[in-house]
Structure 1
């Protein structure tokens, strides 16, 4: 008897998949555009996707375009996808990390002298990422109900750009870790300004 019931159940499942090509959970009327439509019976539950570390995510062999996991190192839903600027070149991208794709570097002072009025010589370096991280992690003032720190990205999640710098300095480059190197051409009249933009990878 059990064998007959199993055969009938299998046939019904095959018939259902052929008839609707949809899977519905807790609903008899899945959306026509959905292959899988999940409804929480009391609207008090959500969908939990696989959770893993960044290393485990990167170890997935041949991830399918559009694959989703929750990255517990970056605390974000991560999708394997390409971008409009690199169509066909796929990689993992955080989709939910603060809902930002780029941000401006907080204002900083670019040293041009040794403190006694003498011009700095040779190549100087500034760790842009550490200045950004420190400012977000320990802001000086916050509103009463605000968290103690501002969420920030890891250095590996960012690209770094200079969109403008005063002619008194020459930017020599920025490392992938966010360290800017520069040389001083002349002392500024007041301060040396450099506009830095961070782009989420």
Structure 2
């Protein structure tokens, strides 16, 4: 008798669909997952990001509006780093840390060096509702990039860079799955700053070293 796949198996398959752009299969998997756990926002967000990557902005926005109407909110992403016997936590766009000014100065420098190394912000998965003039679209793109730059793991890395000696590995924990842009950016950061950066996200450990990741770009 065939064994029916459980939520863990189907959730892993949906993650694979997101990584490989299998949109139709992802839609079918979400239908089954919603029946198992209708309040799990991660599944909805994964499919919404897949719609955005495929250029289906209306579907991406529609799915997020459904979540909002149901009163379901995405868990906020948090990244923590342990330095000097203390745990420092960051959320996206966080400016509550006592060393915020130093962190954002480091962030500006890091983004500048990333761009020089060939980094291009991956804003495809971010959903903004506007579709106005060329100037409006340019402003929207800039807003998307600024939002990416201040993701929690990037802020945690910047704090680690200003708080430790050169060459010291950085260990970061994140409660959600690391996004594609951060994954690509951190690979480059590990190379240009000669740092080993280990991030434990919701799915697995990522060990970034000398421009590559232990997950072989599968996460």
TM-score by length of 2: 0.22
Comparing both structures, which one devotes a greater share of its residues to strand? 1
Comparing both structures, which one devotes a greater share of its residues to helix? 2
Q: Over alpha carbons, which structure has the higher Rg?
A: 1
TM-score by length of 1: 0.23
Question: More relative contact order in 1 or in 2 (CA 8 Å, sep 6+)?
Answer: 2
